[in-house]
Amino acid sequence: MIGRAIRWLSNPGDDPALAVAQVRQMQRQIPLLYGLLLLNASAIAITHFRSAPKLLTLSLPAILLLASIVRMAHWVQVRGSVPTPAEAKRQLQTTTMLAGVLASGYVLWALLLAPYGGAFEQAHVALFISTTVIGCIFCLMHAPQAATLVAVSVIPPYFFFFLFFHESSFAPLALNVTFVLIVLLRVLFRSFDSFRRLVHSQGELSLQTQQMAELAQQNRALAMTDSLTSLPNRRFFCRELELLAGRREHGCRPFTVMLIDLDCFKPINDTHGHQTGDQVLIEIAGRLQEAAEPGRVCRLGGDEFGVLLEMAPADAERIARRVVRAVGVPLIVDDLRLTLAASIGLAGFPHAGGRASDLFDRADYALYHSKRSDRGGISVFTPEMEVAIRADRRIESALLSADLEQELDIKLQPIIDLSTGRVHAAEVLVRWTSPIIGSVPPDQFIPIAERTSIIHTITLIVLDRALQFAADAAPDVALSINMSTCDLSSVDTIDKMIGMIDRAGLASGRIWFEVTETAAMRNFDAAIVALERLRATGARIALDDFGTGHSSLSAMHRLPLDTIKVDRSFILALDDPSSRSIAEAIVGLCRTLGMDCVAEGVESKRQLARLQEMRCDLAQGYLFAQPLDRAKFRALVAEQSPCWVAVDEPRARLNAA
Ligand code: C2E
Ligand code: MG
Ligand code: MG
């Protein structure tokens, strides 16, 4: 039992969390303890100054007070700091040891003073020891070993001194104080026990809090990560871009936003399935990370990636070229050899904009530009694009406030049967004249109408006008209406179109719908459903601008088609042997598959002759007529002679339309 007590006394601070909590409490209480000691000891030295020798009223108290002041200064200095468990243990051990030494020193000094002076001075000594020891033990309530050592160092000498060697009338007081101290120590141990439990429960609580914080941290990281490629996601990208733009607002070091879009990914996904698509994305994500160093690659969604580069656009362009090369290397997935390309848009701070949203929009515009004009290419946002964006905004606001029923009109461009020279059909082309901004070519306003969903209204108006005109026009002339991507994926628009066709009651084959392969491939499954539903009304489906996309043959094979419209670019290059071979092959393929073939953009007699040589069925172009208004188109249809009779002198009178 004694051995255990000695071990306990000599080992304070064994419990690390408790030791730290003890020292933090002691930082507040021990300076008070020394303050109490200094005051009480000074008072007793003063009351004995005349009666006791100077050694006891000056020298000895000076040593004790100096030691107390040094310790007090130490505790004041460390007040408020959080010790490490090892430091806390060391401090507890020092305090416990010093508590015994100083308590013994003070009590011996006080007992040495006791024989001097009269009854008042002696009573003061008894009172000094009893009150000071009670006060000190109170202050040491968070250091039970030190408090116990103080009690053990003070009570026996105090009790025995007054009981046996000195004024025996003080003996009851000594006994009294001894009892008080025993009770006090008991209370102190109990309250320390509660303190220990509190510290431990707080420890558990803080452990739970820490675990919760770690969990929250993991959740945050997950919310910022793309689960397929493990790259940071769009949310992360936008946050980083905001931070970067915010930081750079005050300084002007440039940085560049790079947006990457994979060309040909959609057809791969649609043709080979989502599992293959996923593997392609994982592989490409790895390549992008390597090629875009030191930029951080994020997956923004689908086949779109973003990179933030802390460099000017000129340097970022070098990285962009590396990215294009890396993406262009064929990849093997499930024994398939696949080739992709990347289109890239770059926008640099501060020239392309100061705010995160502006920079993103401009990089997106540059990307759109590079997809439209130079597939697999790189575009840096330029001041000219800024002008184009402003023009787009003007068109958009005019379109949003337009009375389309009034402002839209249609033109008809004849499609000529090359075996008879007569008008076989007409492509219906929309025309918009805005009272605010004047006449706007469809190439400019259709993409904006698609972005703002106004395209559905336009398609329905154009179809309505075409159906009305079909009733007036010659019964054997078909009308071909252009459809956009958005129409193909809008069930509501398709329902309305079918309703209108049914109500018109035209003969089967009088209405054609033109779709581009890019439009059909964007949402392939929806496109097939929509086209089959339209076809069920007796309408025919034509694949427009054939050869300009990336999956022409796949589209030709998988879509429900009746006609192929070979893009103008092939007709323009008919003199080039390889283009001629391609055109010839397409015409042959159409014949084999039982589809009609329309050559678009025929402008010269030479092109016409070549097309006739390869036995192409139908052709359309400025050589025959430009898009015409209804009256001129009717006049052309009524003509008896074949269209190319007048070809020596291109149809100036009709083309003047
Ligand atoms: P597209 O469907 O390929 O239409 C053919 C475009 O080529 C027309 O331009 C036509 O005027 C032009 N073109 C015809 N023959 C020749 C030629 O010999 N040489 C040259 N250089 N061009 C020729 P337009 O009318 O400006 O239409 C442009 C595009 O706008 C159309 O291309 C089509 O994608 C779109 N578009 C036109 N009308 C509509 C519409 O009602 N709905 C939708 N969704 N798109 C339309
Ligand atoms: Mg067309
Ligand atoms: Mg076309």
pLDDT in tens, 48-91: 888 888 888 888 888 888 989 999 898 888 888 888 888 888 88
Contact, 273 vs 354, CB < 8 A?
Answer: no
Q: Specify whether 191 is located in the same domain as 241.
A: no
Tokens representing 206 are 């803080």
Indicate if ligand 1 lies below 6 Å from the C-beta of 454: no
Q: Specify whether 370 is located in the same domain as 489.
A: no
Alpha helices by DSSP H, listed for 234-273, are 234-248, 265-272
Residue type, 95: T
Predicted confidence at residue 168, as pLDDT, reads 63
Q: Is residue 571 part of a domain?
A: yes
Q: Which of 186, 206, 226 is the last residue of a domain?
A: 206
Tokens representing 310 are 């802390």
Q: Specify whether 550 is located in the same domain as 587.
A: yes
Predicted confidence at residue 544, as pLDDT, reads 94
Identify the helix (H) or strand (E) that includes residue 546. Answer: strand 540-546
53 SS3 class:
coil
Ligand 2 centroid vs 600 CA: distance in angstroms? 9
What is the distance between the alpha carbons of residues 453 and 361, in angstroms, rounded to a whole number?
A: 19
Strand 511-516 to 563-566 pairing: unpaired
Predicted confidence at residue 654, as pLDDT, reads 45
Q: Is residue 557 part of a domain?
A: yes
Domain total of the chain: 3
Indicate if ligand 1 lies below 6 Å from the C-beta of 627: yes
Nearest-atom number in ligand 1 for the CA of 410 is 41
Distances from the Cα of 552 to the Cαs of 475, 618, 632, in angstroms? 32, 19, 35
Q: Specify whether 447 is located in the same domain as 519.
A: yes
Q: Is residue 228 part of a domain?
A: no
Ligand 2 centroid vs 522 CA: distance in angstroms? 17
Ligand 1 pocket mutation pick from 372, 450, 482 by most atoms within 8 angstroms of CB = 482
Indicate if ligand 1 lies below 6 Å from the C-beta of 462: yes
Ligand 3 centroid vs 532 CA: distance in angstroms? 21
Strand 438-440 to 540-546 pairing: unpaired
Q: Is residue 50 part of a domain?
A: yes
Ligand 2 centroid vs 618 CA: distance in angstroms? 14
pLDDT in tens, 10-35: 778 888 888 888 888 888 888 998 98
Question: CB within 8 A of 385, min separation 6: which ones?
Answer: 362, 365, 366, 369, 379
Q: Specify whether 202 is located in the same domain as 239.
A: no
DSSP for 27-52, please give it: HHHHHHHHHHHHHHHHHHHHHTTTTS
Q: Is residue 114 part of a domain?
A: yes
Q: Which of 191, 206, 221 is the last residue of a domain?
A: 206
Secondary-structure percent of the chain, ordered helix, strand, coil, rounded to 5: 60, 15, 25
Beta-sheet strands, E only, within 318-448: 331-333, 336-338, 341-349, 378-380, 408-417, 423-434, 438-440
Which residues are paired to 379 by β-bridges?
345
Task: Extract the residue ranges of the chain whose pLDDT is less than 70.
Answer: 165-169, 204-205, 248-252, 373-376, 550-552, 640, 644-657
| pTM of the predicted structure, to 2 decimals | 0.62
Cis preceding-peptide flag for 350 (omega within 30 of 0): yes
Predicted confidence at residue 652, as pLDDT, reads 43
What is the distance between the alpha carbons of residues 326 and 234, in angstroms, rounded to a whole number?
A: 22
Indicate if ligand 1 lies below 6 Å from the C-beta of 415: no
Ligand 3 centroid vs 255 CA: distance in angstroms? 40
Nearest-atom number in ligand 1 for the CA of 620 is 15
Q: How many Cα atoms within 13 Å fall on the side-chain side of residue 21?
A: 19
Return the ∠ at Cα 548 (arms to 544 and 552), rounded to 5°: 75
Ligand 1 pocket mutation pick from 410, 433, 446, 605 by most atoms within 8 angstroms of CB = 446
Long-range contacts of 546-553 (CB under 8 A, 24+ apart): 546/517, 546/586, 547/582, 547/586, 548/516, 548/517, 548/518, 549/516, 549/517, 549/518, 549/521, 550/263, 550/264, 550/267, 550/375, 551/264, 551/267, 551/271, 551/517, 551/521, 552/517
Q: Which of 170, 188, 206 is the last residue of a domain?
A: 206
Indicate if ligand 1 lies below 6 Å from the C-beta of 429: yes
5 SS3 class:
helix
Tokens representing 191 are 């309250």
Q: Specify whether 61 is located in the same domain as 165.
A: yes
Indicate if ligand 1 lies below 6 Å from the C-beta of 642: no
Here the CATH number for the domain that contains residue 280 is: 3.30.70.270
Indicate if ligand 1 lies below 6 Å from the C-beta of 47: no
What positions carry a catalytic annotation?
Answer: 303
What is the distance between the alpha carbons of residues 501 and 497, in angstroms, rounded to a whole number?
A: 6
Q: Specify whether 375 is located in the same domain as 503.
A: no
Contact, 301 vs 343, CB < 8 A?
Answer: no
* 35 backbone dihedrals φ, ψ, rounded to 5°: -60, -45
Distances from the Cα of 617 to the Cαs of 209, 300, 515, 565, in angstroms? 77, 46, 19, 11
Q: Is residue 191 part of a domain?
A: yes
Predicted confidence at residue 320, as pLDDT, reads 96
Nearest to 41 by CA among 95, 97, 113: 113
Q: Which residues of 530-544 are buried (b: 16+ CB within 10 A; e: fewer)?
A: bbebbeebebbbbbb
231 SS3 class:
coil
Distances from the Cα of 296 to the Cαs of 315, 361, 485, 519, 594, in angstroms? 15, 19, 33, 32, 51
Indicate if ligand 1 lies below 6 Å from the C-beta of 547: no
Q: Specify whether 548 is located in the same domain as 460.
A: yes
> Which residue range(s) make up the domain with 292?
234-381
Residue type, 408: L
Indicate if ligand 1 lies below 6 Å from the C-beta of 446: yes
Q: Specify whether 414 is located in the same domain as 363.
A: no
Ligand 1 pocket mutation pick from 407, 429, 430 by most atoms within 8 angstroms of CB = 429
Ligand 3 centroid vs 544 CA: distance in angstroms? 5
Predicted confidence at residue 211, as pLDDT, reads 77
Ligand 3 centroid vs 515 CA: distance in angstroms? 9
Q: What is the dihedral of CA 208, 213, 219, 224, to 10 degrees?
A: -170
What 3 state SS string does 112-160 have? HHCCCCCHHHHHHHHHHHHHHHHHHHHHCCCCHHHHHHHHHHHHHHHHH
Q: Specify whether 199 is located in the same domain as 263.
A: no
Strand 378-380 to 408-417 pairing: unpaired
> Which residue's CA is the nearest one to ligand 1's atom 45?
482
Of the listed ligands, the closest to the CA of 513 is 2
Contact, 92 vs 19, CB < 8 A?
Answer: yes
Q: Specify whether 567 is located in the same domain as 482.
A: yes
Q: Specify whether 503 is located in the same domain as 642.
A: yes
